[in-house]
Amino acid sequence: MSNKTIGPAGAHLLTALAERDRPIFSVAEAQTVMGGDHGAVVQTLRRLARAGWVVRLTAGRYAIVPLSSGGTNAPQVNRYVIMRELLEPAPHYISHDSAMDIHDMLTRPVSVVTATSSRRLGRRTILGVPYRFIYAPPAALWGNAPVWVTPHEQVVVSDLERTLLDGLTRPDLCAGVGQAATALWMRHSDLDWDKLGAYAEKLGVRAAAQRLGYLLELFGLGSPALIARLQALTAASYSRLDPLLPDQGPYLARWRLRINLEPADLEAVIRT
C-alpha cells in the first residue's frame, strides 16, 4: 500500500484494520489504532474518503474500499453486513430477493440489496451496489433470525416461510411470481407447513395467500390443512397471479386469481 496519497497515518490505519479483519470500523476503533485526538482521526478519515480508500456508511461508521488491483491489504466487505450497518440499531431484516439469495432460493444473481426496516431511508449506492429500504412498522418485523453471512458476521434475515410470503406479497421485489415459485420449489422440503399457514394468517395479505395456495396445488405441495387455511383467507375480489404482468388470462374462482402467467411456464421450474 502506497502512502504517497493518503499519508503514513492513513496507511498505518488501513493496514492495521486489514490485519484485524475489520473491513467495517468505527471512528473510535480508528482512534484506538492511531492514537492522538479525535479531531486528527476524523481528518485522516476524511482524507481517506476523498482518496477513495474508505467510504462513509453512517455517522461514525466507515468501510474499507476493496482493492481493485487484486491486492490483499483490504478485505472484501460483505454487502449484507453493509446493510446491517446502515440500519442498526433500528429493527430490520434482510428481505425479499436478498433473503432468497441468502437462503439459496434463487437461480439468478441479485444486484440490489433489500431490507425491511422501521427506519425510513432512501435508496443509495455504496461501492457500486444499490441498497433498497422497505418501510414497515416495528410490529410487522417478525419471522426473522440471525444468519451467518461470513465466518465472523451475522445479519438478521427473514426465515424461509416469511421470505416466501414477502415475495408473494411484493413480487416486484423478487422479479415476479415466477421467481417466488422457484424459491418455493427449491426449498419446499425445508418449509414448515404449519408455520407457513400461521404466518399467512398473521400477515393477513389475501393476495399472497391466494398465490401461495395456487402454487402449492400446481406443484403438488403442502398439506390439506394448509390448503384449507389458505382457502379461508381468499378474498371476494380477484387479484392477478403476477402483478408485474398484464391484466389478462382466465379467472380461477377457487383461488380468486387471474392466471396471467402460463401454468406450463411455472411447472417448468420443477423440471429444471
SS3 113: strand
Please identify which residue in the block is written with the cell numbers 406479497: 169
- Three-state secondary structure call for residue 127: coil
Average pLDDT of every residue of the chain: 92
CA distances from 121 to 86, 115, 140, 261 (A): 9, 11, 17, 33
The average pLDDT across 31-59 equals 89
- Are the C-beta atoms of residues 23 and 75 closer than 8 Å to each other? yes
Give me the pLDDT at residue 65, please.
Answer: 87
pLDDT over 50 at 74, yes or no = no
> Band of the pLDDT at 67, cuts 50, 70, 90?
low
More confident residue, 109 or 227: 227
Model confidence at 72, in pLDDT bands (50, 70, 90)? very low
Confidence of residue 68 (pLDDT cuts 50, 70, 90): low
pLDDT score recorded for residue 96: 98
For residues 155 and 80, the answer to whether their CB atoms sit within 8 Å is yes
Confidence band for 71, pLDDT divided at 50, 70 and 90: very low
pLDDT of residue 2: 46
Identify the pLDDT of residue 9: 87
The pLDDT value recorded for residue 88 is 93
Is the CB of residue 143 less than 8 Å from the CB of residue 124? no
Do 260 and 249 touch, CB atoms closer than 8 A? yes
Mean pLDDT of 197-217: 98
Q: Which backbone phi and psi does 84 adopt, to 5 degrees?
A: -55, -45
Spell out the domains of the chain, with CATH numbers in brackets. 7-64 (1.10.10.10), 78-158 (no CATH), 159-272 (no CATH)
CA–CA separation, 181 vs 179, rounded Å?
5
Report the pLDDT value the prediction gives residue 59, as an integer from 0 to 100.
Answer: 84
Confidence of residue 235 (pLDDT cuts 50, 70, 90): very high
pLDDT band at 272 (very low <50, low <70, confident <90, very high): low
Q: Rounded mean pLDDT of 49-57?
A: 89
Calculate mean pLDDT across residues 152-159. 96
Retrieve residue 87's grid coordinates: 440500519
How many other C-beta atoms lie within 10 A of the C-beta of residue 44? 21
Separation between Cα atoms, residue 199 and residue 241, nearest integer Å: 20
Q: What is the mean pLDDT of residues 7-20?
A: 88
Residues in the chain: 272
The mean pLDDT of 133-161, rounded to a whole number, is 97
Is 186's pLDDT higher than 90? yes
In the chain, alpha helices (H): 7-19, 27-34, 38-50, 79-87, 96-102, 160-169, 177-186, 193-203, 206-219, 224-231, 263-267
